[in-house]
Structure 1
Amino acid sequence: MGGVYVYVLIFLLSSLFLFLFMKRNEPPQKRAKLPPGSMGWPYTGETLQLYSQDPNTFFTSKQKRYGEIFKTHILGCPCVMLASPEAAKFVLVTQAQLFKPTYPKSKERLIGPSALFFHQGDYHLRLRKLVQGPLALDAIKCLVADIEALAASASRSWVSGGVINTFHEMKMYSFEVGILSIFGHLENRLREELKKNYCIVDKGYNSFPTNIPGTSYKKALLARKRLSKILSDIISERKEKKLNEKDLLGCLLNSKDDKGEVLTGEQIADNIIGVLFAAQDTTASVMTWIVKYLHDEPKLLEAVKAEQEEIRRKNEENNQPLTWSQTRNMPVSYKVVLESLRMASIISFTFREAVADVEYKGYLIPKGWKVMPLFRNIHHNPEFFTDPQKFDPSRFEVAPKPNTFMPFGSGLHACPGNGLAKLEILIMVHHLVTNFRWEIVGSESGIQYGPFPVPEKGLPARFWREYITS
């Protein structure tokens, strides 16, 4: 009888071992489970819940209920939301090959399907290197005087006595900086044509995508065709004159791949529109928030003003303009920029799509599902930023923990123009506090999303020229 028990025990242990071995080697979809969460109503999911309130309130309430990884269904897509630094790093850096960038097709049509941020792999790497070149720190050093001139030009009408839409004014400034970095000194007629048609595309970008004549989206599609024609004319002129400029357009025109092939006109146009799109609204939003934050914090405004006034006095004494080295030595102002990026979190999240079934911390992320690292949730987590709702630039006297501060994204798809964005913001701050005082008109607390968060109504404000005696 003892021998029988031994055989039974061996059989049971063998069966258990086989079960565990097979369980371990099952495909992820059989072993893992979907994250917790709610998928909402059929088709619409939780889209209405998301857009009927502050989107950040929606994401925060979900995180409190389900934890740092949860599922939902928005904009017709099943999604997995990730609200931890480790998860963001997993998707954007360490396992980035498993998650491709994804945008609605309606938005791809307006920017152009060949724009670098719609791609991954060899094409993306090639285009990223090309775009990074003229936007790298060594390349933008020579733009300081030109950007300062653009800041002065953009603000010339602010002191007319009327109320201005701060966000609108900052968008015009950012657009001009984008044009400068892409084309250098472009003929005024062409610049105005680009601006007029780009504004129509920009207005239709977040509208309902329909081809019905007269709608914002249809107008945007037509304006996008006109942009292609304008860019084609600019490219043809460059080629005819055989200009060897080192701006972004020059880099795109002179590029050849390993086979000696050049980029097509459509590829160049798509990437130029993509850079303009990436450079304008986000940077303008940050500058608008800085105007508000400095208005709301008088002591901080005085500290920034003192720093910038010292720079202004030295430049007047030496009869010189603002320099690159000075923009690299604005510690108080720079911390204000960083804290504004954290507080406002203009890019609240980014879209990726799983290219295969992926398992993360025991949860399944099915192939084809959208994956959204929630930057704002991370930036406003008290575990990483004490009293996160308080505007406190001094928190950046110590570097944030890794992967807790990602205002420009992370990994291979991080914003290649973040150096230029910071430069134009710091130049505007210098120009703003040394030349103006201002007051905000009307409500000071509301936020609107379109899609980036900006103060309500674009932050209406009234500006006066500041006359400071040395």
Structure 2
Amino acid sequence: MLVALLVRHNTRNDQDNENLPPGSYGLPLLGETIPLALDIHSFYRKRVKKYGPVFKTHLFGKPVIAFNGPEAFTFFLNQEYFTRENASPHPIKELLDWDTLPLLDGDEHRRRKRIILQAFTPEAFDKYIPSIEQTASYYLERWEKLGSFTWLTEYRKLSASLTNALFIGKEPGPMSETVGEITDTFIKGFSSIPINLGFNAYGRALKNRDWLLDYIDQAIQQHRQQPRQDLLGLLLSARSEDGSTLTDAQLRREVMHLFFAAYSGFYVALTLLSLTLAQHPEIAALTRQEVKQYVPDGPLDMTQLQKLVYLEQITKEIRRFYPINAATFFAQVKKDCEFQNFHIPKGWGAVAGIHTTMHIPQVFSEPKSFKPCRFAPENFAALPENSYVPQGGGSRDGHRCAGEDMITVLLKVMGVHLLRRYSWELPPQNLELNQDLFPTPRDGLKVRFGIYTNS
């Protein structure tokens, strides 16, 4: 039996007479799953460089075609040919508790997504900004006293407190930071060997998934007894066009997905913002000048944040430049189709590269250079469809991340509070990014932090 499998696998390339995209099926049985797990970002970069924007591979026991670049990404989003239903590997479905937006498609996906989006409007952000500022102030005061510290560690704590404040209504501090540690262990399950031994990384991730679900259940009950104007409170009152709401079972899963996505997205983006401003003093000086001109003091709101055009360009370039999200969730090919004369077989898996799409030199010249001017309003408006896809592409009620604008708001608020009062410098250290699912500086971004003096 094993010999037959090996022969079948190793001769499959010889049977590719249907003009499939170039690529490799990798090792027998395992395919290319191991190199993907070891360094997901390098996996996509190397294969795009070797094979071009569309390539075949074999992941999690299934042949897969990867789409990279604006045109290919747009094709991948066509629901006539691709679906998320039953497309993700078993471990991802198990960790997400089987029934949540990244795993759905069609009418039910659109209904839920439109309900979720009601908690991510400019009007909703105005309700959240006081919590963001309160959390920022709590940690900035602590950092001022510390003077020197590792920023990644502190940003994990800040992000845990902020996620807990926005979704659960808790104050910043040690309890929220503990929830962040639990969330961290859960997230590690997505890049671990998917065998549940209880004590191993995947087993611990499943236990922490259940802890988070119970934690969210308690918060739902508390919000029903005492309504609040946080994100969970808005989701409890949100209605679809037909008047339906999310059931408690649906809500707990969607909030869990949003909770861990927000936590990881927050600390990674904030770490990279601070790194960028330290490495590019000319960019920091221009941004500080913009902050001084438009929001020199006082509480913030969406009207004020919209004035910070240059800071917004920086937030966009951070998400384009750095390898934050490697790829979309998996889809499945619904029917035989063709793209650029390549045959795309029914039943195969499909995925779209996110970071690789935003590093196509034909769209973003000198893609390895950090240039906020790429996102000046006139330049941003001229970009091809689905060329800037940091949290997915397509319409807002499709599979694009609901929290994309939330990241922009957070980076702007934190940027303002940092630049109004503080300055920082990075002592000698290794600033190379690690190979984590969400890469950050290897030494954790050590920093000397203090009051800004305009000397």
User: Looking at CA atoms only, which structure, 1 or 2, has the larger radius of gyration?
Assistant: 1
Establish whether residue 321 from structure 1 lines up as the match of residue 310 from structure 2. no
From the superposition, tell whether residues 189 and 438 of structure 1 become closer, same or farther in structure 2 (CA, over 3 Å): closer
From the superposition, tell whether residues 271 and 308 of structure 1 become closer, same or farther in structure 2 (CA, over 3 Å): same
Moved more, 181-190 or 226-235: 181-190
Does the aligned pair in 2 maintain the 1:435–1:465 contact within 8 Å? Answer: yes
SS at 1:354 equivalent: strand
Partner residue, 1:415:
401
Distance in 2 between the 1:38 and 1:207 partners? 23
How far residue 359 of structure 1 moved from its aligned partner, in angstroms, is: 1.6
Partner residue, 2:113:
128
Establish whether residue 68 from structure 1 lines up as the match of residue 53 from structure 2. yes
Partner residue, 1:238:
223
Distance in 2 between the 1:426 and 1:249 partners? 22
How far residue 210 of structure 1 moved from its aligned partner, in angstroms, is: 2.8
Q: How does 1:71-220 map to 2 (within 5 A)?
A: 71-92=56-77, 94-95=78-79, 98-100=82-84, 102-161=87-146, 163-184=148-169, 194-195=179-180, 197-220=182-205
From the superposition, tell whether residues 63 and 387 of structure 1 become closer, same or farther in structure 2 (CA, over 3 Å): same
Distance in 2 between the 1:177 and 1:97 partners? 39
Establish whether residue 43 from structure 1 lines up as the match of residue 26 from structure 2. no
Distance in 2 between the 1:187 and 1:447 partners? 28
Distance in 2 between the 1:441 and 1:284 partners? 21
Distance in 2 between the 1:57 and 1:222 partners? 30
From the superposition, tell whether residues 252 and 445 of structure 1 become closer, same or farther in structure 2 (CA, over 3 Å): closer
How far residue 205 of structure 1 moved from its aligned partner, in angstroms, is: 4.1
From the superposition, tell whether residues 328 and 443 of structure 1 become closer, same or farther in structure 2 (CA, over 3 Å): same
Q: How does 1:5-16 map to 2 (within 5 A)?
A: none
Does the aligned pair in 2 maintain the 1:177–1:424 contact within 8 Å? Answer: no
Distance in 2 between the 1:199 and 1:60 partners? 26
**Structure with the higher fraction of residues in helix conformation:** 1
Q: Give the counterpart letter for 1:87 in structure 2.
A: A
Query: Which of 320, 329, 334 is matched with 1:356 structurally?
Result: 334
Does the aligned pair in 2 maintain the 1:175–1:279 contact within 8 Å? Answer: no
From the superposition, tell whether residues 89 and 123 of structure 1 become closer, same or farther in structure 2 (CA, over 3 Å): same
Distance in 1 between the 2:239 and 2:371 partners? 47
How far residue 232 of structure 1 moved from its aligned partner, in angstroms, is: 2.5
From the superposition, tell whether residues 96 and 160 of structure 1 become closer, same or farther in structure 2 (CA, over 3 Å): farther
Establish whether residue 403 from structure 1 lines up as the match of residue 351 from structure 2. no
Give the percent of matched residue pairs that are identical in Structure 1 and Structure 2. Answer: 27
How far residue 148 of structure 1 moved from its aligned partner, in angstroms, is: 1.4
How far residue 276 of structure 1 moved from its aligned partner, in angstroms, is: 0.6
From the superposition, tell whether residues 266 and 168 of structure 1 become closer, same or farther in structure 2 (CA, over 3 Å): farther
Establish whether residue 382 from structure 1 lines up as the match of residue 366 from structure 2. no
SS at 2:119 equivalent: helix
Distance in 1 between the 2:357 and 2:222 partners? 47
Q: Give the counterpart letter for 1:338 in structure 2.
A: K
Distance in 2 between the 1:256 and 1:149 partners? 29
Moved more, 373-382 or 363-372: 363-372
What's the TM-score once normalised by structure 1's chain length? 0.82
What's the TM-score once normalised by structure 2's chain length? 0.84
Distance in 1 between the 2:202 and 2:435 partners? 18
From the superposition, tell whether residues 327 and 259 of structure 1 become closer, same or farther in structure 2 (CA, over 3 Å): closer
Distance in 1 between the 2:45 and 2:176 partners? 42
Partner residue, 2:8:
none
Q: How does 1:240-319 map to 2 (within 5 A)?
A: 241=225, 243-254=226-237, 263-313=246-296, 315=297
SS at 2:108 equivalent: helix
Distance in 1 between the 2:160 and 2:269 partners? 14
Partner residue, 2:372:
393
From the superposition, tell whether residues 453 and 76 of structure 1 become closer, same or farther in structure 2 (CA, over 3 Å): farther
Distance in 1 between the 2:287 and 2:172 partners? 36
How far residue 163 of structure 1 moved from its aligned partner, in angstroms, is: 4.5
From the superposition, tell whether residues 279 and 322 of structure 1 become closer, same or farther in structure 2 (CA, over 3 Å): same
Q: How many residues align?
A: 432
Structure 1 residues 97-132: Cα deviation after superposition (integer angstroms, max 9, x where no partner) = 623164333233333222222211222122211211
How far residue 275 of structure 1 moved from its aligned partner, in angstroms, is: 0.6
Establish whether residue 437 from structure 1 lines up as the match of residue 398 from structure 2. no
How far residue 444 of structure 1 moved from its aligned partner, in angstroms, is: 4.2
Does the aligned pair in 2 maintain the 1:100–1:355 contact within 8 Å? Answer: no
Structure 1 residues 364-388: Cα deviation after superposition (integer angstroms, max 9, x where no partner) = 2223322121222221122111111
